[in-house]
Amino acid sequence: MSTLRQALYGLALLCALGLLLWAQSERIEIADKNVELAQGATTAALGRATRSEAVAALMTGALVAERKAQAALRLLQNGLRKALSDRKQTIEDLKRENEELRLWADQPLPDAARRLRDRPAITGAAAYRDWLSGRRAVRPAGDATAQ
């Protein structure tokens, strides 16, 4: 029986070794799948990072262009303010020099011209659109017919 026992022990040892090898191969397969998943996630993250960098570069370019446009608009606005100030000063100088011009400038505006300058307090695009569509047409001063 001792040979039979040795054969059974050998067989049990062989089965245990087979189970150990099978378990190890399963662990290796699982590790390989995890590596593949990690590589896929890394590739996806790298793609997202590349797209994000491209968007950031695009937005940086747009920001630089916007700042340049704002600077140009500020320069234009300053020029317009100076021109307006110069015109106002010229008008005041002319009023002081010319009596007839001063009398004309001191008269109130005609009704038609006053209505052109009449505007309600507008608080947005929709209110402006409503004001424009509901506005009365300005007729010439001598035209009494409603067209």
Indicate whether 130 belongs to any domain. Answer: no
Q: Please report the pLDDT score of residue 57 as a whole number.
A: 96
Indicate whether 37 belongs to any domain. Answer: yes
Structural domain harbouring 28: 2-76
Q: Which residue has the tokens 């307090």?
A: 121
Q: Please report the pLDDT score of residue 78 as a whole number.
A: 96
Indicate whether 112 belongs to any domain. Answer: no
Q: Please report the pLDDT score of residue 1 as a whole number.
A: 65
Strands, E assignment, 1-147: none
Q: Please report the pLDDT score of residue 139 as a whole number.
A: 59
Q: Which residue has the tokens 């004309």?
A: 104
Q: Please report the pLDDT score of residue 147 as a whole number.
A: 47
Those residues of the chain that have pLDDT short of 50 are 147
User: How many distinct structural domains can be found in the chain?
Assistant: 1
